[in-house]
Amino acid sequence: MPLESSSSMQLSFPSSLPPVPDNFTNSSPPPMSYITSQEMKCILHWFASWSGPQRERFLQDLVAKAVPGKLQPLLEGLEQLSVSGANRPPCIFECQLRLWDQWFRGWAEEERNEFVRQLEVSEPDFVAKFYQAVAATSGKD
């Protein structure tokens, strides 16, 4: 019995495949990881206890992350930096901002957008200021 080459073999699939459920055909993003969702919950919890000046500092950082190619938010962010003495440990807020920055850099774009959406639910006025600040960078280099 001669052997047939694999290129001449034909596979036959059943003619009636089950339909694909609607939730698989949507182009919705994959669910967020548990770790990312916990990171977001931490930041939102911290945000609730931040003072007005701390929230302003966070706003500047968020705008700088939203429009990374713009020089103006970067310069304004640099103005807010303070050189802490070598003998002074960072305050809790500075540690929180460092964790925020580290976590944010690890998130996908959809996750970053989801964070802003969650922040908007609890702090709509703050997010409105964020959108205004982002819009204000338009046309600035």
The letter for the amino acid at 115 is F
Question: DSSP for 5-57?
Answer: PGGG------S-PPPPPHHHHS-PPPPPPHHHHHHHHHHHHHHHH--HHHHHH
| pLDDT computed for residue 14 by the predictor | 44
| pLDDT computed for residue 13 by the predictor | 43
Burial of residue 65, with CB atoms counted within 10 A of its CB: 0-12 exposed, 13-18 middle, 19 or more buried:
middle
| pLDDT computed for residue 71 by the predictor | 52
| pLDDT computed for residue 31 by the predictor | 73
- Between 141 and 96, name the one with better pLDDT: 96
The answer for residues whose C-beta is within 8 angstroms of residue 116's C-beta and 6 or more apart is: 62, 127, 130
CA–CA separation, 77 vs 133, rounded Å? 13
**What would the pLDDT profile of 81-139 be if each residue is shown by its tens digit?**
555 555 677 899 999 999 999 999 999 999 999 999 999 999 999 999 999 999 988 76
| pLDDT computed for residue 124 by the predictor | 97
| pLDDT computed for residue 68 by the predictor | 73
| pLDDT computed for residue 44 by the predictor | 97
In angstroms, how far apart are the furthest CA atoms of the chain? 86
The rounded Cα 16 to chain-centroid distance in angstroms is 42
Question: In the numeric block, which tokens belong to residue 15?
Answer: 């003619």
Q: How many CA atoms lie within 13 A of 70 on its CB side?
A: 20
- Between 102 and 32, name the one with better pLDDT: 102
